[in-house]
A = this chain, B = another copy of it.
């Protein structure tokens, strides 16, 4: 199978035009600097999904929405009951996000399906591209609402207790938006043969290593904690150094130690991203400090071991300083390996297309991680300029975006146009 190479996207393709058009469906219309804000079930979100539905139809796909508002474009296969080859990503964004996170994987998928249909006609397997309604958790404190409903982790009847900052429940917002009706197509799928997600890296690795394509071997597991240190708030001038229990000095030692240990542990990342000190006044010794921990690794045992070891050290440090330590976990996900056969196929495709490539982990979570237990799943990354994402400055060069779509197209061709075992 080397026909895939015949389809090669370049920076002149309509890809960038579509990405720019889609970016206009945003809450703020004050120009580039504000980036894209497209929250689940909002007006710009609805308009964006409708725009994509039209784009899918123009690409020759049949279009449907499911119960939670996932949008699916389908290129029927010659064997319509054979496992579906699915690609896509999410349409929602963080507040003031970029125009590529999520959007690129949908538009790339539509471009791939159109090109495959135009070049090769009807595939054996049905080919579908999905625009997941939600992945970011930006409006409601829940993430993966789209892929979670498709893979059975979530039930569309739920979401009554999950509310946005204005008190609107997820379920109510869904209904207002025209979804969540009994007569609509069920989200959950049992007909999938593979899922492939094309996404920007959102990191600096590909750029720094001068690679065009990242092949994801696993999506890291994550642990998030809230760490609280309690000492005594006291006068900064009248309390000698040896009579202090300074919560911020203690937190500083814990953060330095976190960095030391994480730097030693290969491929692990650990971040204290948020810190609040109280009373937070220049001339008062901080009495209470709370900070967040975000720890990620691709191996569950390493991740667990690291956290156990870290918190043992944290306890020792807090005890030595006379500070009360409280560690509250609030998120724990296990690493998700991608399909090895698909990973190898992508590697071969990159070789044939002469694209510099690199196997890597995804340090961020993605819709793909919900499919990995259900069907062979793969992710293709393209570089992110300076690693910047979730920001209006998010950028990938047009030719790099085109390269990613070329790889996706070749993989979908292999998967959908060949007869596969059932």
Q: How many chain A residues touch B (Cβ–Cβ < 8 Å)?
A: 63
* Cα–Cα, bound, A272→B253 (Å): 13
Q: How far is the CB of A333 from chain B (nearest CB, A)?
A: 11
Q: Is the CB of B234 within 8 A of A204?
A: yes
For A246, list chain B residues within 8 Å (CB). 259, 271
User: Residue A252 contacts which of B234, B252, B262 (CB distance < 8 angstroms)?
Assistant: B252
Task: With A201-B238, A236-B363, A271-B284 given, name 5 new contacts (CB 8 A).
Answer: A202-B237, A273-B283, A273-B286, A275-B277, A282-B293
Q: Which residues of B contact A270 (CB under 8 A)?
A: 241
With a cutoff of 8 Å between Cβ atoms, the chain B residues found around residue A208 in the complex are 243
A282 to B227, CA, bound (A): 12
Chain A 202-241 against B: per-residue CB contact (8 Å), 1 yes, 0 no? 1111001000000000001010100000001011111111
Check if A307 is an interface residue, CB within 8 A of chain B. no
CA distance A335 to B292 in the complex (A): 40
Stretch at the interface among A27-35, A49-57, A108-116, A383-391: A383-391
Q: How far is the CA of A222 from the CA of B283 in the complex (A)?
A: 11
CB contact under 8 A between A238 and B205, given known A249-B256, A283-B294: yes
A285 at the B interface (CB under 8 A): yes
Residues in A lying within 8 Å of B, measured CB to CB: 201-205, 208, 220, 222, 224, 232, 234-243, 246, 248-249, 251-256, 258-259, 262-263, 267-275, 277, 280-286, 292-294, 296, 362-365, 386-390
User: In whole angstroms, what is the CA distance A202 to B233 when docked?
Assistant: 12
Q: Is the interface of A mostly helix, strand, loop or mixed?
A: mixed
- A263 B241 Cβ-Cβ under 8 A: yes
Q: Give the distance in Å from the alpha carbon of A236 to the alpha carbon of B363 in the complex.
A: 8
* Cα A236 to Cα B292 with chains together (Å): 12
Given A252-B253, A259-B249, is A363 in contact with B239 using a C-beta cutoff of 8 Å?
yes
- Please name all residues of chain B whose beta carbon is closer than 8 Å to the beta carbon of A280 when the two chains form the complex: 273-275
Sort A-B residue pairs by CB-CB distance and give the 4 closest, nearest first.
A203-B238, A237-B363, A252-B255, A282-B292
Residues of B within 8 A of A273 (CB): 236, 248, 277, 280-286
Question: What residues of B have a CB within 8 angstroms of the CB of A387 in the complex?
Answer: 234-235, 238-239, 243
Contact B256 A256 (CB under 8 A): yes
Shortest C-beta distance, A44 to chain B (Å), equals 23
Cβ contacts A to B, 26 pairs, < 8 Å: A204-B238, A204-B240, A220-B237, A222-B237, A232-B386, A234-B387, A234-B388, A235-B387, A238-B363, A239-B363, A239-B387, A241-B263, A241-B269, A242-B263, A246-B271, A248-B273, A249-B255, A249-B258, A252-B259, A253-B256, A271-B284, A271-B285, A273-B280, A273-B283, A274-B280, A274-B282
Q: Are B285 and A236 in touch, CB under 8 angstroms?
A: no
CB proximity of A22 to chain B, nearest CB, Å = 22
Are A269 and B237 interface neighbours, CB within 8 A? yes
Whether the pair B389, A235 counts as a contact (CB closer than 8 A) is yes
